[in-house]
Copies of this chain bind each other. A is one copy, B any other.
Amino acid sequence: MIDTIMSEKIDDIDIQILKHLQSDSSQSLDSLAQICGVSINTCWRRVQRLERDGIIERRVALIDNDKVGLPLTVFVAVKTDDHSAAWAEKFRSAVDKMPEIVEFYRLAGEVDYILKIMVASVADYDRVYQRLITKVSLADVSASFAMEKLKFTTELPLPPT
């Protein structure tokens, strides 16, 4: 049982539903209900609630990046010397508008930010990089190119039920 910020609780059945939907959201309510040992109706109501409460954020199709010509993943570590809120907001806004940047976190420690960028080629990465540094000034940028994707999942480590 997970205790959320909201007054709502997530019980074991919810966790089972979430586990299955985060692994495969294309299965029918019917099979989901059977796996979770509840009626279709109960299952439907719980899924509705999980969606309404934003526990299920969205349902998406995951696309093979290699097959659509985006084989290169780059991790970019950024340090800044400008720690003002205005600069941070400018950076955030610039990144937001760049679809090649798929992940973006502010970190504690040595490195201030990390970006994950998906592109077609090193040349393509350079174009993204150039575009970014014209929008916002970065003190130090260090790119690491991924040679091999060994694991990628959107499935969160939910507790065993």
Contacts and interface: CB of A to CB of B under 8 A. Distances in A.
Nearest to A15: B68
A85 interface: no
Interface residues of A, number: 68
Contacts of A54: 64, 67
A29 B76 CA distance: 38
Copies of this chain, whole number: 2
Contacts of A22: 60-63
A33 interface: no
Contacts of A63: 18, 22, 55-57, 156
Given A25-B59, A58-B24, A151-B101, A144 B5 contact: no
B62 A108 contact: no
Interface stretch (A36-44, A92-100, A129-137): A92-100
A65 B155 CA distance: 10
Given A63-B56, A101-B151, A69 B107 contact: no
A79 interface: no
B60 A4 contact: no
A145 B61 contact: no
Nearest to A147: B106
Nearest to A115: B151
A69 B109 CA distance: 23
B154 A68 contact: no
A26 interface: yes
A107 B155 contact: no
A158 interface: yes
17 contacts: A23-B60, A24-B58, A25-B25, A25-B59, A53-B67, A59-B62, A65-B156, A70-B156, A70-B157, A96-B151, A105-B146, A105-B148, A106-B148, A108-B144, A108-B147, A109-B144, A109-B145
